[in-house]
Amino acid sequence: MLKIRPLELDTLRENVVVLARGCRDLRPERMAGSRKVEVSAGGRTLYATIIIADDGLLAEDEAGLPLPLYRRLGAPAGALVEVAPARPPASLDAVRRKIHGETLSAAELKGVIGDLVTHAYSDMEIAAFLIACAAFMTPEETLWLTEAMVVSGKTLKWPRPLIADKHCIGGVPGNRTSLIVAPIVAAHGLLFPKTSSRAITSPAGTADTMEIFAKVDLAEDAMRAVVDRCGACIVWGGRVDLSPADDVLISVERPLSIDTAEQMVASILSKKKAAGSTHLVLDIPVGPKVKVKGAEQALRLRKLFEYVGERMGLSLDILLTDGSRPIGRGVGPVLEARDVWQVLSGDPAAPQDLADKAVKLAGRILEFDPALPGGRGEARARELLQSGVALAKMEAIIEAQGANSAPPKLGALVHEVLAGADGRVAMQDCEQLCQIARLAGAPTDPGAGLDLLKGVGETVRQGEPLYRIHGMDQADFDFAREAAEIDPGVAVVRP
């Protein structure tokens, strides 16, 4: 038994416990070969990785708890904590069966997810589970996995029978429609509590862009207060502890580039169900350089979403949209926020494609309203946008969440990527443009990104700029310039 000493260290999602080399109750050889230890206090046990400190950081009777483990354990500083070698989680037997191509039951998948959220698995064991599922997974297993992920964290309840939401599976630069859809839907009178992720592999997520306007790191009580006042919110979902197993899986999926249809469905629908959504419009962009490449893949994904969603009691409206080119002109938080505000405020410079797509998606959500005559959704959405009512609602949401008093500025480092010949823009490579924007520093540097000056089909003269790269850090900016010189991500064909 050791005394808890909180450490001002952020180990991100990882549970880590730090012990002194001379710990009075620790024999280093006893821990040899143990990737995990059990940390117990106040009737709660969590799994953690052990680190040994040699520099006098801790006394021999202390256990150092970095912030994530300290918060999750919930015991006060100075309280006694027990550290012991971890027993292998029983659910690993199910993982081994899955590796051998067997189908798992609902109970077995629930056991795996339960052990994941207590951090009982090493990254190697999580990777083994993900790769085994990527090799073979039935629709029923996808459903059971989704259900298990929902119950792994909180489930929000709302006082109305119709809770609307919208989600895009991603991959299209600048596709920041949620920040326009939310105020339109709330202005109509439907409840739209939007919990969004930060960017993982893209130059900006919905939460990253909303943070240009307002605070997004809201606890559940603050989030509910905003929804009660405005009918909608746009907040970061990580603070609300919705489907925490998804966050654990994603942290291993991304480095391995694992993104199967089954894991995508489980990830998205578990978050939406946990957020209390009852009706969801799902945007699936289809294009050569996004996640869904063609019609056959899109149909398979759509049917899997419909199968799982229906059995979980979600009303789904799925749209297959054009993913062959960016939406809007900005790529990166500040630039995407600019586009959003131009659309909401009716600025003549607003990107029309972003406005049209947002109105279409909002209209599909409004069609869920039983009081609205059928087929009137898109017209109603456009009316709310053009009248300024949606802008007023967005201003109210921003005020309720806490307006950003010092929004970040556009990066001052600027480089223009020029056309090499007269002609017409024939193609914009979504994947390459996202990569250049990320190399420039987006979304970590909110003012970094790309300002697209020419779109597909537009004519261009030799030496005329196709887009501008904005950066805030010289090293990142140089990386982006070099990548654009090798492959600008825009093809110009001669007339």
- Nearest 5°: the CA angle 274, 275, 281 is 105
Q: Is 62 helix (H, G, I), strand (E, B) or coil?
A: strand
In whole angstroms, give the CA distance from residue 297 to residue 211.
34
What strands, in cross-sheet order, belong to the sheet with 164-168? 164-168, 279-286, 315-322
Exposure string of 350-379, with b = 16+ CB inside 10 Å and e = fewer, is: bbebbbebbbbbbbbbbbbbeebeeeebbe
In the numeric block, which tokens belong to residue 286? 């289809």
CA distances from 172 to 330, 361, 390, 425 (A): 11, 15, 24, 18
Report the 10 Å Cβ neighbour count for 310: 12
CA distances from 337 to 183, 229, 279, 323, 447 (A): 14, 23, 26, 20, 10
Among residues 25, 259, 356, 478, the one annotated as catalytic is 259
Our answer to whether residue 259 is catalytic in this structure is: yes
On whether the CB atoms of residues 180 and 354 are closer than 8 A, the answer is: yes
Alpha-carbon separation of residue 485 from 84, 106, 419, 462, 481 (angstroms)? 55, 51, 11, 16, 6
Size of the chain in residues: 495
Minimal CA–CA distance to 272: which of 231, 229, 313, 224? 313
HEC sequence for 344-397 = HHCCCCCCHHHHHHHHHHHHHHHCCCCCCCCCCHHHHHHHHHHCCHHHHHHHHH
Helical residues (DSSP H) of 57-196, grouped into ranges? 67-73, 92-99, 106-117, 123-135, 139-150, 178-188
- Catalytic residues, by residue number, are 259
